[in-house]
């Protein structure tokens, strides 16, 4: 069962990269010499494919990124709770980006969500709230993704 979950996660990651093929430059290998001649108009094949692929898969991209960000928020919350309980170390809204860079292991900047916007941390009494602005990159809208955690 564990192998199936891992395989599903790998498939999701591959799918996200394919959906963002244009922005990741995966299709740039086509741009070196292959071009389409359409009468007087010449179009770069990689750009045409990248645009069409992005249009086709765009709705799925945000859905999968939402799932992955939800998982990331859950991992952040668990990490913060463990550090808060064990060492009484917890973030403040001001130091949250650096706190994430220091405590979360990632190949990308862990203080940014998958849409490139910073995660936000708020503390309300003994409750911490981590928020991603979501696909629209605007804070306080219906597509925001939030995770609450208990603090000492």
Backbone angles phi, psi at 44, to 5 degrees: -70, 125
Taking all residues of the chain, what is their mean pLDDT, rounded to a whole number? 76
More confident residue, 8 or 136: 136
Strands, E assignment, the chain: 35-38, 41-44, 120-124, 127-132, 145-150
The stretch 32-47 carries a mean pLDDT of 46
pTM above 0.85, yes or no: no
| DSSP 3-state of 89 | coil
Burial classification of residue 96, based on how many CB atoms lie within 10 Å of its CB (0-12 exposed, 13-18 middle, 19 or more buried): buried
Structure tokens at 78: 């668990």
| pLDDT, average across residues 87-107 | 88
The residue extents of the domains of the chain are 2-150
Residue listed under structure tokens 């996660």: 9
First to last CA, the chain: 36
Residue 77 pLDDT level (bands cut at 50, 70, 90) = very high
Tokens 């009484």: give the residue: 88
Question: Out of 8-17, 49-58, 60-69, 104-113, which region has the weakest mean confidence (pLDDT)?
Answer: 8-17
Ramachandran angles phi, psi of 42, nearest 5°:
-110, 125
pLDDT band at 37 (very low <50, low <70, confident <90, very high): very low
């Amino acid at each position: 069962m564990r192998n199936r979950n891992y395989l599903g996660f790998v498939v999701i990651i591959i799918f996200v990269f394919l959906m963002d093929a244009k922005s990741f430059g995966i299709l740039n290998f086509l741009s070196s010499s292959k071009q389409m001649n359409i009468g007087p108009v010449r179009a770069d094949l990689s750009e045409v494919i990248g645009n069409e692929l992005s249009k086709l898969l765009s709705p799925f991209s945000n859905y999968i990124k939402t799932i992955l960000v939800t998982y990331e928020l859950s991992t952040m919350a668990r990490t913060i709770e463990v550090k808060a309980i064990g060492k009484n170390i917890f973030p403040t809204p001001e130091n949250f980006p650096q706190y994430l860079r220091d405590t979360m292991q990632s190949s990308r900047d862990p203080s940014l969500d998958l849409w490139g916007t910073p995660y936000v941390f708020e503390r309300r009494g003994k409750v911490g709230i981590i928020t991603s602005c979501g696909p629209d990159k605007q804070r306080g809208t219906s597509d925001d993704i939030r995770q609450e955690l208990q603090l000492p």
